[in-house]
């Protein structure tokens, strides 16, 4: 399993995340925990408490690294055939790893396996919004040129295939989407189980606002990747880029209070 922990993460949430890892019906061979920057004493104590029950491998990374570089470092540090992503704020169902890794083992032609999930209230964990994703490979490929067809907190991927496509790179807001494009464009295939295998704390409350220019640049890189791998037709790819880039630039004019309201 691969988990990224920041100093700002709530210790109680990280504790719940690790508890759900310990309760998996298919125990993890290793739990790679990436510690971004200096971690406070309370979080350090939480990790130390779980060290006796879980095969935790702590890896320190610089605080100024981009999220893509952090994920790339973690993927490179993993030794297992499969990399199971988990957010430090979320809770995995006890049967999650067994369902997904077992599914990939039974379907060796697939390299990515995600699932649907629930966004929940951060405090009560009451489910609020279901994050649906398409199931079959054909539906995933149909969605890919227009939006991300996977939920990163639910993903299990074949490590060698990720590395073969260049691993994660820094592309703010689309580090995972960009990798999926490159993997699927290079011949990998994916599937989304329709089970809700992860209960995630509402991401909107934890997502920092990106500048309009930064997001427009991300959209341009995604556009070039779509064209490089011929994931859509030229006209639709251009239209998607123009609409999204314009929306990103216009969003810079929206006050922070309205932006947070729209995200929720």
Domains and CATH numbers, the chain: 2-205 (3.90.550.10), 212-263 (no CATH)
Instruction: State residue 76 phi and psi, 5-degree precision.
Output: -65, -30
Q: At 241, is the pLDDT very low, low, confident or very high (cuts 50, 70, 90)?
A: confident
Q: Give how far Cα 220 sits from Cα of 71, 179, 192, 230, 256, Å.
A: 22, 15, 27, 15, 24
Lowest average pLDDT, out of 111-115, 119-123, 126-130, 260-264, goes to 260-264
Residue 213 and residue 252 in contact, taking contact as beta carbons nearer than 8 Å: yes
- Say what the pLDDT of residue 203 is: 60
Lowest average pLDDT, out of 44-48, 88-92, 104-108, 242-246, goes to 242-246
* Whole-model pTM over 0.85: yes
Q: At 210, is the pLDDT very low, low, confident or very high (cuts 50, 70, 90)?
A: low
- Say what the pLDDT of residue 60 is: 97
Whether 160 has a pLDDT exceeding 70, the answer reads: yes
Q: At 205, is the pLDDT very low, low, confident or very high (cuts 50, 70, 90)?
A: very low
Contacts of 47 (CB under 8 A, 6+ apart): 5, 14, 18, 33, 39, 56, 58
Residue 223 and residue 233 in contact, taking contact as beta carbons nearer than 8 Å: no
Question: How far apart (Å, rounded) are the C-alpha atoms in residues 240 and 57?
Answer: 41
Q: What is the mean pLDDT of residues 30-53?
A: 96
Question: The tokens of 85 are what?
Answer: 């992503």
Report the percent of the chain where pLDDT is more than 90.
Answer: 78
Residue 62 and residue 74 in contact, taking contact as beta carbons nearer than 8 Å: no
Three-class secondary structure of residue 192 per DSSP: strand
Contacts of 140 (CB under 8 A, 6+ apart): 133, 134, 149, 150, 184, 190, 191, 192
Q: Which helix (H) or strand (E) holds 73?
A: helix 67-77
Residue 10 is classified by DSSP as: -
Residue 88 and residue 9 in contact, taking contact as beta carbons nearer than 8 Å: yes
Residue 117 and residue 198 in contact, taking contact as beta carbons nearer than 8 Å: yes
């Amino acid at each position: 399993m691969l988990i990224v922990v920041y100093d700002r993460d709530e210790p109680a949430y990280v504790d719940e995340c690790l508890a759900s890892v310990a309760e998996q019906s298919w125990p993890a061979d290793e739990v790679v925990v990436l510690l971004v920057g200096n971690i406070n004493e309370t979080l350090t104590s939480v990790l130390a408490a779980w060290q006796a029950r879980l095969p935790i491998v702590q890896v320190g990374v610089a605080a100024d690294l981009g999220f893509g570089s952090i994920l790339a470092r973690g993927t490179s540090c993993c030794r297992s055939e499969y990399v199971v992503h988990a957010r430090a704020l979320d809770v995995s169902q006890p049967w999650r790893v067994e369902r997904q890794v077992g599914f990939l083992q039974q379907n060796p032609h697939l390299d990515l396996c995600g699932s649907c999930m629930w966004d929940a209230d951060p405090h009560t964990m009451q489910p609020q919004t279901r994050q649906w994703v398409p199931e079959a490979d054909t539906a995933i490929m149909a969605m890919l040129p227009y939006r991300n067809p996977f939920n990163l907190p639910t993903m299990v991927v074949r490590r060698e295939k990720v590395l073969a496509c260049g691993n994660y790179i820094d592309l703010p807001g689309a580090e995972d989407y960009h990798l999926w494009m490159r993997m699927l464009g290079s011949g990998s295939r994916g599937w989304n189980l329709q089970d809700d295998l992860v209960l995630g704390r509402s991401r909107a409350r934890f997502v920092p606002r990106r500048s309009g220019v930064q997001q427009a640049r991300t959209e341009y890189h995604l556009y070039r990747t779509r064209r490089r791998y011929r994931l859509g037709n030229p006209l639709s790819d251009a239209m998607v880029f123009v609409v999204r880039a314009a929306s990103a630039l216009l969003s810079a004019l929206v006050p922070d209070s309205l932006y947070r309201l729209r995200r929720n």
